[in-house]
Structure 1
Amino acid sequence: MTASAETIYGADDLTHLEGLEAVRKRPGMYIGSTDSRGINHLFSEVVDNSTDEGVAGYATRIVVTLHADGSVQVDDDGRGIPTGVHAKSGISGVELVLTRLHAGGKFGGSGYKTSGGLHGVGASAVNALSHRFDVTVRRDGLVHQMSFAHGAPGVFDGPGARAKFTPRSGLHVTGKMKRDETTGTSIRYWHDARYFETGAALDVEGVRSKLRNTAFLVPGVTYVLRTATEDSISEETFHFPNGLPDMVDFLAPTGDRAVSGTLVVSGEGTYKENAADENGVMQSNVPRRAEVEVAFRWGTGYERTVECFTNTIRNVHGGTHRKGFERAAVKALHAAIARTRGLLRAKEEPPTLEDVLEGMTAVIHVRIPEPQFTSQTKDELSTAGITKVVQAVVEAHLREWTEDRRTKVEAKTVLQKIVDASRVRLTQKQQKDAARRKTALEGAAMPAKLVDCRTTGVARSELFLVEGDSALGSARLARVSEYQALLPLRGKILNVQKASLADTLRNAEIASIVQVLGAGSGRTFDLSAMRYGRVILMADADVDGSHIRTLLITLFAKYLRPVIEDGRLYAAMPPLHKITTRGRKPQTHFTFTQREMESTVARLEKAGKQVVTPVPRFKGLGEMDADELWETTMNPATRSVRRITLAEADAAAADEALDLLMGEKVEPRRAWLVRSAARVDRAAIDV
């Protein structure tokens, strides 16, 4: 069989993009996009290199000039790009970093402790996408100059991007530095519009915002923005000696009265990650040190502003440092709210992250060596170890702030605001869900024995299938009526594995369950129509209770399976014993097995506690009072529940197990019981 010319695929069809050709071929891979954001990213790459000099302590002034011809110029008073000949490549340091991808002084050498640019791509990408790129370096008493056209070195015979270009390699000395002249680097470039979308242009406000933000983050550097026209030059200066607190004041919404002063958190921490050594060999658990600086405050408004930066680079989508901050805020403030009397009412759920952040203005800045980002544009930090470092630093500060008598009053005001935000959010949600639930229930007659919740929506609502009317009395008093509904079951429901569909639907208890769930049964079951977010099987902690749970699980597995597959079926775990101690400060402990009860009693007595004996055992849920039932079985914050799950891969095995244990055939079940008898831990059997 002979292949046609169109189908032949050989080595000659492979393409190797060398040098900066790859950038020009796929610019979006290197600068994020080819619209106006990409043009602004070119500017960011250049100014970030100057900023790294400022962070390292070598630059104090960075001047950005937007020329009337569309070119951008960045001048700094740092050390200047190295001008010596690079031993391996045989070209000057200037030509190396501006024409070779992945070349620079930020790959673990002694040039920078931390830096925003790490890939060695930024400046060379700008060079590749520019009609003209001029660089001037003042260093070692000399002035060095070099020009490029689309990344190729050479000379232009005049000013502007359209001047005649002659290729020529090498960095050239054009004179000596003046006596009062500082070292540093000056870069001016004219981007090539052919690589960008029609109409794309530099966003001057974006440039202004970039310089302002960086001035907040690097208090020791002054940034100047000069905008030139044919007739005049306007100039703006950005310098903020207070750093992040100044940034918080700037970002806070206009007219938003502060509820707290600006909290400034700073600290260090260590983490480990895999990294390559100087020879390029990957090493595991390389120790790293991170510097964390965070400033934030709460205002009376509802807006939230959280800005994240890594080595002065803005991370638009946050990342692992934001995750650490949010975890710390929720954990520390939840604990403070729980400690402060009078904030949360009985049975109220703790606030969420949404409530904690309401009205907050925050700036998170971390300085770390060799950060990892999700893309070349550095929009999101992905260095995993930073989460725990930031969390530890912020959590310790918040704990001290909420406990210190000098700031306790201010902290309580913030905690009250967070709790109030939680209540408002829940109230608004209840109103929305009430309308949705009313529509769903119109024309539907629910069983008279259903103790329904007060229309707080599917996501939060819970339906307890309660064993017997005796337990219903305590459960009715214990529940949170806003979102917890009760359906009592009399006796044991039908074993649906043995019964026909007609017999199943005629069973009164099963019919009530199907009706209350409101989503149908079998193949017509519609999970989206289900009236409750969770179904919780609440039966006694004895053999009969276990049997009832098994029958209910069988029902859901056969006719209401989507509830299990979606992870919305749970089994409550009520305790068996209540252990109390005597003394001025009596303690109460609940245990779930005989073995756990005995070990708990032994531990308490060893600790010098006097245990009330004999230890009472609950015969059923109905023996608990409302407070005991709430604390042990119904309170989402303290209860223990088991989620009933069914993975797709296990579906066949689950069906076989149900048929074996609950089906009509007795002999296979008897044989299985005999074979499995040796697996029983007799000491663990509760009798």
Structure 2
Amino acid sequence: MTAATATEPLNTGPTDDTQGYSARHLSVLEGLEAVRKRPGMYIGSTDSRGLAHCLWEIVDNSVDEALAGHCTHLSVIMHADGSFEVGDNGRGIPVDIEPKTKLSGVELVMTRLHAGGKFGGVSYTASGGLHGVGASVVNALSARLDVEVDRDGHTHAISFRRGLPGEFADDGPKAKFKKKSGVRQVRKVARRTTGNRTRFWPDLQIFLKDATVEQSLVMDRMRQTAFLIPGLTIEVRDERGEEVVEETFRFDGGISEFCSYLAKDAPLVDVLRLQGRGHFTETVPVLDEHGHLTPTDVERDLEVDVALRWGTGYDTITKSFVNVIATPKGGTHVQGFDRALVKVLNEQLRASKLLKNGDENVLKDDILEGLTAVVTVRLPEPQFEGQTKEILGTSAATRIVTQVVSKELKNVFDNPPRGQKQPLRAVLEKVVGAAKTRIAARTQRDNQRRKNALENSALPAKLVDCRTADERSELFIVEGDSALGTAKLARNSEFQALLPIRGKILNVQKASVADMLKNAECAAIIQVIGAGSGRTFDLDQSRYGRVVILADADVDGSHIRCLLLTLFYRYMRPMLETGRIFSAVPPLHRIELIKPKKGQDKYIYTYTDAELRRRLVELERKGQRWKEPIQRYKGLGEMDADQLAETTLDPRHRMLRRIRVEDAEEAAKVFDLLMGSEVAPRREFITAGASELDAERIDV
């Protein structure tokens, strides 16, 4: 795989420079050079998420062996030196010589993009890592990668440094390295012993210094994998902390156990298991005997396995997987599942007379209330959108999943298992109840909208609105009236609106919808944004292109931000999902320079104590003096309008932090723990963290 990039700017018309622009100005990236040049194309990012993606690429190779029935044990070790090791008892990567490249199989897989056992269609019938770039990409982005393969009565070893094969003189990535191709036999093992062990040290030239893989993330992923592959034993060991943490996962019940594990409410009906398979024809490039990719019609089998149950609650949990690879954004298999649910439930409701002639059909949202479902499909070479594999694109999956789920679910309702007839009836009644509630709410909402249109109700008096209503309009939710006065003078009234809130809003994590709507601050925010709330939220009706939380840079400000994020997460989540919620980042300090040099700003703003210390050291080294004491802002109200505009409001100079769904989800979890109705988890949290408290920091 090669990539070409122009090193000269693109000319928009004939100039004298055109004659000097030739092929020598093009750079060609050979092999793994393209990966190191553009790592984001292969792993998404170079932060913690990208590092975790590298670990999943290696883990997925072992999982593929388990899916093929050749692996029963998998281990993941997070070493104290920052390296990661994955081992399995699968067949082991081939170590014999591949005739075309004259390289051993393990070196070929680790150094060539799109090389592996998943393209010919015979080694794996279902696989998660289908791009053939996983292991080689991790190799390219590692300061060191060691592979040991148990096969044919020997342990074969090979090492790499940033994708180049060779040998290290000692342990660790900084050891002396000598380039050398080929594997070496390091010891004898029993002839029946097979498997792989891969250990890699992430390259700090590529990844951010603070990139890490959280222990909880690995544990959740491995637990999930053990659920999806019954009988597979997975051991996880984290050696990075003061104490070594070990966990072992094995679930023989498969996704039925997974469904019960995910559900948080009491069950209305036992877990239902729906299984089946279908066939489809796909035209794909296949390697022929001459090594050429030839378009060929291939018959595919698609296996469907679904576990679902309805509970007494109202939250919906749906997890979907393709060959045990999670597809958090769904895809064609989830579309087929949803379509089947709506079709079968409406048929059953009509047959049971719970829906009468003239009644509206129930919708997907009515059916999903209280539903916990795990949707899995297995097929060779699924079509994903991008290397991160978050969405399944294989179009045939929709039809096959719809057929299988429709047939099996209809059979469950027509011939209920022993003792499940009444629970299944309760499910139908729950769905009808949800539909009636939705229709009643819609009627009330429509009446209210008509009333508002007639009465021409005004927006809250405290809103300081802007003149435009296009995509660049911004609503600043300002903490306190004191900051509002300054913000009025600092804002650009053309596109920046202000809404002050008094102190801390209601903690909506444990409040009912009715209490939330009664709260003046919550109601004002929802009213000003103008797009509704909860299931009725319509993003297209939002009056502002983005919402910016403008709070003090202290503990209270953080508390207010968390409360606001919890409100948006629970009742206006599409704002978060589309990246429209931001947090302003006001400065903590202002350094006033004495006799600034020509072209140098008189004031320097810093945002953390560490940044302040670093800037002062730089100024001292340059012989630059500053006025003492250095101003430390306790709140936004201490800034004048020019300072607030320059540091926090002016798009040309300000810093905004985009809030992701994960951030709001974490905020909701924290508030559920610290301020929820369950006392026991809070007591355990406080007791567990008491020993970590620095007593000297407590004011006496």
For the aligned pair, the TM-score class normalised by the smaller chain equals 0.5 to 0.7
Which residue of structure 2 aligns with residue 519 of structure 1? none
Matched, 1:432 2:441: no
Give runs of aligned pairs for residues 92-241 of structure 1, distance below 5 A: 92-178=104-190, 182-229=193-240, 232-241=243-252
Shift in Å, 1:131: 0.6
The amino acid across from 1:144 in the alignment is H
Shift in Å, 1:234: 2.3
The amino acid across from 1:276 in the alignment is P
The 1:443/1:17 distance shift into structure 2, 3 A limit, reads closer
- Distance in 1 between residues matched to 2:242 and 2:47, nearest whole Å: 29
Which residue of structure 2 aligns with residue 460 of structure 1? none
Give runs of aligned pairs for residues 24-39 of structure 1, distance below 5 A: 24-39=36-51
> 27, 49, 62: which is aligned to 1:15?
27
Shift in Å, 1:344: 2.4
> 261, 269, 286: which is aligned to 1:260?
269
Report if aligned partners of 1:268, 1:290 keep a CA contact under 8 Å in 2. Answer: yes
Report percent identity of matched pairs. Answer: 46
The 1:64/1:405 distance shift into structure 2, 3 A limit, reads closer
Residue-by-residue CA offset, 1:473-532 (whole Å, 9 max, x unaligned):
xxxxxxxxxxxxxxxxxxxxxxxxxxxxxxxxxxxxxxxxxxxxxxxxxxxxxx99xxxx
Q: Secondary structure at the match of 2:193?
A: coil
> 427, 441, 461: which is aligned to 1:414?
427
Q: Secondary structure at the match of 1:437?
A: helix
RMSD after superposition:
2.1
- Distance in 2 between residues matched to 1:43 and 1:102, nearest whole Å: 18
Shift in Å, 1:411: 2.0
- Distance in 2 between residues matched to 1:188 and 1:366, nearest whole Å: 30
- Distance in 2 between residues matched to 1:104 and 1:191, nearest whole Å: 22
Q: Secondary structure at the match of 2:98?
A: coil
The amino acid across from 1:259 in the alignment is L
Residue-by-residue CA offset, 1:244-292 (whole Å, 9 max, x unaligned):
0110011112xx1111110101111111222123335554653211111
Report if aligned partners of 1:401, 1:408 keep a CA contact under 8 Å in 2. Answer: no
- Distance in 2 between residues matched to 1:141 and 1:152, nearest whole Å: 27
- Distance in 1 between residues matched to 2:360 and 2:209, nearest whole Å: 53
Question: Computing the radius of gyration over CA atoms, which structure comes out larger, 1 or 2?
Answer: 1
The amino acid across from 2:435 in the alignment is S
Which residue of structure 2 aligns with residue 387 of structure 1? 398
The 1:185/1:281 distance shift into structure 2, 3 A limit, reads closer
Shift in Å, 1:188: 0.3
Matched, 1:63 2:75: yes
Q: How many residues align?
A: 442
Q: Secondary structure at the match of 2:448?
A: helix
The amino acid across from 1:328 in the alignment is A
Which residue of structure 1 aligns with residue 62 of structure 2? 50
Matched, 1:423 2:436: yes
- Distance in 2 between residues matched to 1:309 and 1:422, nearest whole Å: 29
Report if aligned partners of 1:270, 1:290 keep a CA contact under 8 Å in 2. Answer: yes
Residue-by-residue CA offset, 1:387-414 (whole Å, 9 max, x unaligned):
1111111000111111115544332211
Q: Secondary structure at the match of 2:281?
A: strand
Shift in Å, 1:77: 0.5
- Distance in 2 between residues matched to 1:282 and 1:331, nearest whole Å: 40
Report if aligned partners of 1:216, 1:246 keep a CA contact under 8 Å in 2. Answer: yes
Residue-by-residue CA offset, 1:450-488 (whole Å, 9 max, x unaligned):
xxxxxxxxxxxxxxxxxxxxxxxxxxxxxxxxxxxxxxx
- Distance in 2 between residues matched to 1:436 and 1:35, nearest whole Å: 46
Report if aligned partners of 2:119, 2:286 keep a CA contact under 8 Å in 1. Answer: no
Matched, 1:269 2:289: no
**For structure 2, which runs of at least 5 residues remain unmatched after alignment?**
1-12, 458-539, 542-700
> 373, 376, 382: which is aligned to 2:387?
376
- Distance in 1 between residues matched to 2:366 and 2:241, nearest whole Å: 52
- Distance in 2 between residues matched to 1:267 and 1:2, nearest whole Å: 63
The amino acid across from 1:338 in the alignment is R
Report if aligned partners of 1:76, 1:186 keep a CA contact under 8 Å in 2. Answer: yes
Shift in Å, 1:434: 2.8
The 1:429/1:194 distance shift into structure 2, 3 A limit, reads farther
Shift in Å, 1:3: 4.5
The 1:428/1:7 distance shift into structure 2, 3 A limit, reads farther
- Distance in 2 between residues matched to 1:31 and 1:244, nearest whole Å: 28
The amino acid across from 1:326 in the alignment is D
Report if aligned partners of 1:55, 1:218 keep a CA contact under 8 Å in 2. Answer: yes
Q: Secondary structure at the match of 1:15?
A: strand
Matched, 1:287 2:299: yes
The 1:148/1:440 distance shift into structure 2, 3 A limit, reads same
Report if aligned partners of 1:60, 1:222 keep a CA contact under 8 Å in 2. Answer: yes
Structure 1 residues 30-39 or 63-72, which shifts more? 30-39
Which residue of structure 1 aligns with residue 691 of structure 2? none
Shift in Å, 1:175: 1.6
- Distance in 1 between residues matched to 2:324 and 2:73, nearest whole Å: 16
Report if aligned partners of 1:274, 1:282 keep a CA contact under 8 Å in 2. Answer: no
Q: Secondary structure at the match of 2:287?
A: coil
- Distance in 2 between residues matched to 1:393 and 1:15, nearest whole Å: 51
- Distance in 1 between residues matched to 2:181 and 2:254, nearest whole Å: 43
The amino acid across from 1:433 in the alignment is D
Matched, 1:339 2:356: no
The 1:152/1:284 distance shift into structure 2, 3 A limit, reads closer
Report if aligned partners of 1:54, 1:220 keep a CA contact under 8 Å in 2. Answer: no
Report if aligned partners of 2:287, 2:294 keep a CA contact under 8 Å in 1. Answer: no
Which residue of structure 2 aligns with residue 524 of structure 1? none
Shift in Å, 1:12: 1.0
The 1:171/1:391 distance shift into structure 2, 3 A limit, reads same
Shift in Å, 1:203: 2.2
Q: TM-score, normalised by structure 2?
A: 0.61
The 1:157/1:230 distance shift into structure 2, 3 A limit, reads farther
Report if aligned partners of 2:173, 2:201 keep a CA contact under 8 Å in 1. Answer: yes
**For structure 1, which runs of at least 5 residues remain unmatched after alignment?**
445-526, 529-687
Matched, 1:250 2:261: yes
